[in-house]
Amino acid sequence: MKNTVLMICVVCSVGCTTASLKLTIPETFKQQATMQHVDGARGNKMTFAHFTTSRIRRGRHTSDERYGRGFFLQNLLLNQAGIQKDETISNEKARFHYTLTDGKNNVEVYADEMKVTRKVEYESFNRRNIFFDKIGQVQQYNYVFSAIISADTAQDSNNWELLMTNIYERKPENGMNPFVFIKPDYNGMATNGSDTIFIKALNITKTEMPNGKMAVLPFELLSGYELSTNDGVIAIVDMIDRNIWFYDELDDAEKLNIGGIATAIFARRVHDEKWIGTGSN
């Protein structure tokens, strides 16, 4: 629901459709890379080029919310104005497992997601208050995504470990402002013990209007991820159109491992960029 609301806000603010929101692929990289569209990126089985996943087997997806610290003294005053202040802490966890094959070799992907959100809420119980019913301020946000990409015995390759995080803590200067957005910095890295792939979130800050002019968005939107090594960019994951761009010099084993990383990113459910109306299943 929150993703849908964000997309509606963007459409209203820039006066365009979601189809105009595109991840810009650098021209120099595009000339040295091949794009593969991922069918089923929103489902439980994905295919692209000659790669196929098994059906994604999902574990229990849990979500719970509890009250945090109380505000007894503050509420003595706030209640007189018809306002109640509370803190809630929500936890969400999910896990999944699947096999990715290129027709010759396989990798097993085991992934876990965890998100913890601490929020202060102000609720009006005075019906005469016409300004608000309930507003919330996110005080802290912790997201962790981890995965093991395990090669089969036919490959002379080590397992890859993937870790992505986004950590946010409200700054004092934000004060009472409820309209502070969490920056979509879902960055991370993957390593097999000897090689490392750096994962950088790519965010949209501008979009093209129907008249061809550029408009600045009111906040950043996560559009994809750049995968790189010390030698440069090796892949780009497009979350909007659901594509993977592979650097042409990658060998089969490298493409299989990168495919495991990319499909794991697409398969997430706790952090899920839905991008309604774009791409194809």
User: DSSP for 148-191?
Assistant: EEEEPTTS--PPEEEEEEEEEE--GGGTT-S--PPP---EEEEE
Read off the pTM: 0.82
The top-scoring range by mean pLDDT among 5-14, 80-89, 232-241 is 232-241
CB distance 151 to 157 below 8 Å = yes
- Flag whether pLDDT at 87 surpasses 60: yes
In this prediction, residue 176 has a pLDDT band, given cuts at 50, 70 and 90, of low
pLDDT of residue 90: 93
pLDDT of residue 20: 66
Q: What percentage of the chain reaches a pLDDT higher than 90?
A: 53
- 175-204 mean pLDDT: 85
In Å, the largest CA–CA distance within the chain is 71
DSSP string, 16-73: S-GGG--PPPPHHHHTTEEEEE-BTTTTT--EETTEEE-PPEE---EEEEEE----HH
Mean pLDDT estimate for the chain: 83
Where is average pLDDT lowest: 2-6, 19-23, 78-82, 139-143? 2-6
pLDDT of residue 211: 65
- Flag whether pLDDT at 238 surpasses 70: yes
Per the model's pLDDT, the better-predicted residue between 207 and 140 turns out to be 140
pLDDT of residue 210: 63
pLDDT of residue 213: 72
β-bridge mates for residue 232, sequence order: 229
The top-scoring range by mean pLDDT among 20-34, 112-126, 187-201 is 187-201
CB distance 49 to 250 below 8 Å = no
- 71-95 mean pLDDT: 85
- Flag whether pLDDT at 104 surpasses 70: yes
The top-scoring range by mean pLDDT among 55-69, 90-104, 129-143, 203-217 is 90-104
Collapsing DSSP states into helix, strand and coil, what is residue 89? strand
pLDDT of residue 248: 96
CB neighbourhood size of 58 (10 A): 15
- Flag whether pLDDT at 181 surpasses 80: no
In this prediction, residue 22 has a pLDDT band, given cuts at 50, 70 and 90, of confident
- 171-199 mean pLDDT: 81
Q: Tell me the C-alpha distance between 88 and 99, whole Å.
A: 38
- 154-179 mean pLDDT: 79
- 17-38 mean pLDDT: 84
CB distance 250 to 257 below 8 Å = no
pLDDT of residue 21: 77
